[in-house]
Homo-oligomer: A and B are copies of this chain.
Amino acid sequence: MGQKVITFGELLLRLSPQNNLRFTQTEEYEAVYGGGEANTAVSLSNFGVDVSYVTKLPAHPIGQAGVNSLRKFGVDTSNIVRGGQQIGIYFLEKKTSQRPTSVIYNRAGSAFALSKCAEYDWNKIFEGVTWFHFSGITPAVSPELADACIAACKEAKKRGITVSCDLNYRSKLWDGATANKVMSEICPYVDICVANEDDAIGIFQLDTTGQEHPQEYVAQELMKMFPFKCVASVWRTETSITTFKLQSMIYTDKAYYSKEFYMSILDYIGAGDAYCAGLIYAYINNYDTQKAVEFANAASCLKHTVSGDFNLVTVDEVNKLAFAAAGNEVSR
């Protein structure tokens, strides 16, 4: 379709115990790769979109395994800078009834975290590109990477590339004041902003107390601050110990709400990234706003049924859930 997407961020090795074991029980780890922008890239590639992922990874076999995990699903990896010594790792203990998800980072000192702004040649990377996506995690990793995001945004603007950013506040990586300062510099370049309540509170210190429609409020406030074309948001609510409700919204001049899904969850990670991929796919394919929010919401819903960070579903599967009167029984 002539569209080409770039995403930029860190690829982490995710290590998680199987069978809901605790860290102090496990003697083996399930190993997959993931990371916000990589997840979005894989999701887009599974939707048939031409997408290339930018990061830095060590040249050693553990880094290569990361590259392979992306190639496997068709993501172009030729823009990945190779070098450095370590790969970022995160340990994941899965939520089990009242026991919450636990994440332990082992990513300080990774090749990406130590990479320099100048290692990313945006002029070359953006050749033929029509869409640039990243999240607030990338500038949070280091000041150099904040600079890299800004440099990328400027180059993108110069070339008329659409820029989308998922604010994705991570309090373990930076504090609100720093986040506010950096993101305030970045957001003027962003066309499409994905932001949930926590992001808005964490980064821009918005106060949603007492708001009846907090997602709308967040969108309105952010659109006052920055020239976003729209603000999108996805949120899940625990409706019982076994069930969550998922819904999302795109705010342009008004709020477009998706329908709601009641889900049980196989994997809690990457649902926001899958939502971003759904949005980008919808916009690239000129879906109207209501159709876009349904598609993105269904993509995010299906992500909750896929183990690992990556959303391994097809456009057909998303469309069927978003728009068809689905029967969940076996087809045979």
Contact = CB atoms under 8 A, between A and B. Distances in A.
Interface string A94-124: 0111111111111011000000000000000
Interface string A273-298: 00000000000000000000000000
A248 to B, nearest CB: 15
A277 B128 CA distance: 34
Nearest to A103: B332
A302 B25 contact: no
A329 to B, nearest CB: 7
Contacts of A28: 18, 28-31
Interface string A63-77: 011001101111000
Nearest first, the 8 closest Cβ-Cβ pairs linking A and B are: A109-B109, A72-B72, A23-B61, A99-B305, A96-B305, A101-B330, A103-B332, A97-B305
A86 to B, nearest CB: 5
Nearest to A308: B25
Interface string A221-249: 00000000000000000101111000000
A24 interface: yes
Contacts of A30: 27-28
Interface in A45-65: 60-62, 64-65
Given A20-B266, A62-B23, A329 B100 contact: yes
Interface of A, secondary structure class, is loop
Contacts of A65: 23-24, 26
**How many copies of this chain are found per oligomer?**
6
B98 A321 contact: yes
B101 A331 contact: yes
Interface of A: 15, 18-32, 60-62, 64-65, 68-69, 71-74, 85-87, 89-91, 93, 95-106, 108-109, 170, 172, 238, 240-243, 261-266, 268-269, 301-302, 304-308, 312-313, 317, 321, 326-332
B18 A305 contact: no
A73 B60 CA distance: 15
Contact of A102 (B61, B68, B87, B302): B61
A18 B102 CA distance: 23
B328 A24 contact: no
A31 B17 CA distance: 10
A34 B210 CA distance: 49
Nearest to A19: B307
B264 A61 contact: no
A148 B69 CA distance: 33
